[in-house]
Structure 1
Amino acid sequence: MSDHSFIPYGKQSLDEEDIQAVVNVLRSDYLTTGPAINQFEEAIAAYVDSKYAVAFSSGTAALHGACFAAGITEGDEVITTPMTFVASSNCVLYQGGTPIFADIDPVTYNINPLEIEKKITNKTKAIIPVDFTGQPCELEEIIEIARRHKLIVIEDAAHALGATYRGQKIGSISDMTMFSFHPVKHITTGEGGVITTNNKVYYEKLLAFRSHGITRDRSQMMDDHGPWYYEMQFLGYNYRMTDIQAALGISQLRKSDQFLERRKEIVEKYNWHFKDIKEVVIPKQSAFVESSWHIYVLRFCSNVLQVSKAKLFNELRNCDIGVNVHYIPVHKQPYYKNLGYNQCNYLEAEHLYEEAITLPLFPSMTDQEVEYIIQTIKRIISTNKRTKVGDEE
């Protein structure tokens, strides 16, 4: 073990302002479904330049809501990437739809638009591109494909708050966009998520969906018994965010740009030190995007290292560096194998999984911690090089 304290791959960055924001709500009249929810939604919408935002209890709940609003149902197919967290495809299953995976681009690690085209059938209803690591997908191509085939684009931007694509903020481009506020994300509400959209119909469906399918809008009711009356018009869910969470989110959002700048500083240091080391591949960013750098994925080239990924991972953990892996391809999960996805091959996603390790990246990392991680990786690489390319272990 090292003489350093353990450095996690990600963690929340909270200060006294955040704590006081939560305390203020705890002392107020509303703990849930109060004014902080609308304030947070308005702040998020303004930050990403969208017309509407609907807060949910988690990013997964938000994706489920988006699939409902898109009208996904039994028999519908939705194309997404296998290189993501399971929520990106589970949300389709919740609605009775069928996830269809399309392989990733070998450079950006995002879903490959050419592979999307190959997967479209007359059952395809939507596309869920995932902004892996915080780098926006090739949205122009994806949206063009979607418009041509009359598909809905639900962007999973759990990693991408603050990112831009061709000068536009992520959250204002796709039909619906999901952001997550889990503690390792750019800002946190503890747990939480949001859907942003410019479509009023989707907005109204999302509002009702997160609250049991209930409406109090008299213009939408089939009956009216009096001022107390409300109607459950479809089977919705209790996916509401609390005011406690929303107050924390409002406070965190004020620091979002500051957090993003610190993430970029750390990435620049990583890239500078690793760019000329042939045993690793640093992340590549497209010229027309600004990544929000949720995670830093370093690819360890198995053909020039005489050590397995598992051994590398364990060595780094033993040095108190809390590396992680993003992601185990979804089709490799036992549940999905049982659904028949075990016969599928997504070679680029599988190759990335074999070689990728996620390094720590969060705003409160110190320069000393960053330097320690860099030097430890260099040392481990140096002691695990093959004597020549092609040598066996």
Structure 2
Amino acid sequence: LPVVEDAACASGTEILIDGVWERIGKPHGDIACFSFHPRKVISTGDGGMLTTSNSAYDKQFRLLRQHGMSVNDRVRHSAHEVIFEEHSTIGFNYRMTDIQAAVGREQLKRLPEIVAARRRLARQYATLLRDIPGLAVPSEPSWARSNWQSYSVRLPEWCDQRAVMQFMLDHGVATRRGIMCAHREAPYHELARGRSLPESERAQDQTIILPLFPQLSESDQEYIAAMLREACAY
């Protein structure tokens, strides 16, 4: 059974397997899919990458991303003899631009530093938020080292999510809902009719994502925590 890993958010995340820490996307399945959307740990503006240890998949992916062309532009343009490319299959224009790739390669060099900063900020959030009544902060299992792409908290039962988010925004802190449930969106209403997913719905209604990025200062993080504490007090 082919296994495709949804590793969209997992750049730099590690998992403990048989006593050894390994990066997500080794891959442990057949293919791992990463995202470079601006919200992710590494960004090229948009787009993403695939990793695979299967040489046949690799060859096919490289064909598909560039119109099914047998020879890529870099090889043709640097050649000292004329090369005629062929299109052996129907492909797509999924190429990343050279500028995007250059930005991504430089960020990959800094990935350990970026992840370390995010992990430090996540630990600091846990300390700053731990005594807010009714607030649940995320935890990390012993077998994982998260990159903390997002820091999502579950609000106290008595808090109105929209009111908390508006209070934060009024005080200069942008937040987002922790998740969105597909079955609540218009295209899926008919398919979801009569179905109840209470835990997913509870997560959508009660979780928010707090700002977290490597350049977040200690004073700004303390301010965010103070504003959340005040918002949850109402």
Sort the TM-score into its range (normalised by shorter chain). Answer: 0.7 to 0.9
Q: Answer yes or no: is 1:362 the counterpart of 2:213.
A: yes
Aligned to 1:6: none
Alignment partners' CA distance in 1, 2:52 and 2:102: 22
Please give the per-residue CA displacement for 1:51-93, whole angstroms capped at 9, x wherever unaligned.
xxxxxxxxxxxxxxxxxxxxxxxxxxxxxxxxxxxxxxxxxxx
Deviation at 1:273, TM superposition (A): 2.1
Which residue of 177, 180, 197 corresponds with 1:346? Answer: 197
Aligned to 1:281, what secondary structure does the other structure show? coil
Which residue of 52, 56, 59 corresponds with 1:201? Answer: 56
Which residue of 189, 202, 226 corresponds with 1:375? Answer: 226
Tell me how many residue pairs correspond in the alignment: 220
For residue 379 of structure 1, what is the amino acid of its counterpart?
E
Is 1:157–1:170's contact at 8 Å kept on the other side of the alignment?
Answer: yes
Is 1:332–1:342's contact at 8 Å kept on the other side of the alignment?
Answer: no
Aligned to 2:68: 213
Deviation at 1:160, TM superposition (A): 1.1
Is 2:63–2:69's contact at 8 Å kept on the other side of the alignment?
Answer: yes
Alignment gaps of 5+ in structure 1: 1-149, 218-225, 385-393
Q: Does the C-alpha gap of structure 1 residues 344 and 205 become closer, same or farther in structure 2, counting only changes over 3 Å?
A: farther
Aligned to 2:9: 159
Name which of structure 1's ranges 355-364 and 258-267 shifts more when overlaid on structure 2: 258-267
The structure whose RCO (Cα within 8 Å, separation 6+) is larger is: 1
Alignment partners' CA distance in 2, 1:237 and 1:341: 33
Deviation at 1:285, TM superposition (A): 1.5
Name which of structure 1's ranges 271-280 and 346-355 shifts more when overlaid on structure 2: 271-280
Is 2:128–2:222's contact at 8 Å kept on the other side of the alignment?
Answer: no
Alignment gaps of 5+ in structure 2: 73-81
Is 2:126–2:137's contact at 8 Å kept on the other side of the alignment?
Answer: yes
- What RMSD in Å do the two structures reach over aligned CA positions? 1.8
Question: What TM-score do you get using the length of structure 2 for normalisation?
Answer: 0.87
Alignment partners' CA distance in 1, 2:51 and 2:141: 24
Q: Answer yes or no: is 1:228 the counterpart of 2:78.
A: no
Q: Does the C-alpha gap of structure 1 residues 341 and 265 become closer, same or farther in structure 2, counting only changes over 3 Å?
A: same
Deviation at 1:229, TM superposition (A): 4.1
Q: Does the C-alpha gap of structure 1 residues 343 and 216 become closer, same or farther in structure 2, counting only changes over 3 Å?
A: farther
Please give the per-residue CA displacement for 1:365-392, whole angstroms capped at 9, x wherever unaligned.
111110100111112222x2xxxxxxxx
Deviation at 1:300, TM superposition (A): 0.4
Calculate percent identity across the aligned residue pairs: 29
Is 1:275–1:282's contact at 8 Å kept on the other side of the alignment?
Answer: yes
Aligned to 2:37: 182
Deviation at 1:153, TM superposition (A): 2.0
Question: What TM-score do you get using the length of structure 1 for normalisation?
Answer: 0.53
Aligned to 2:119, what secondary structure does the other structure show? helix
Aligned to 1:330: 182
Aligned to 1:317: 169
Aligned to 2:23: 169
For residue 14 of structure 2, what is the amino acid of its counterpart?
T
Deviation at 1:180, TM superposition (A): 1.3
Which residue of 119, 127, 150 corresponds with 1:295? Answer: 150
Aligned to 2:50, what secondary structure does the other structure show? strand
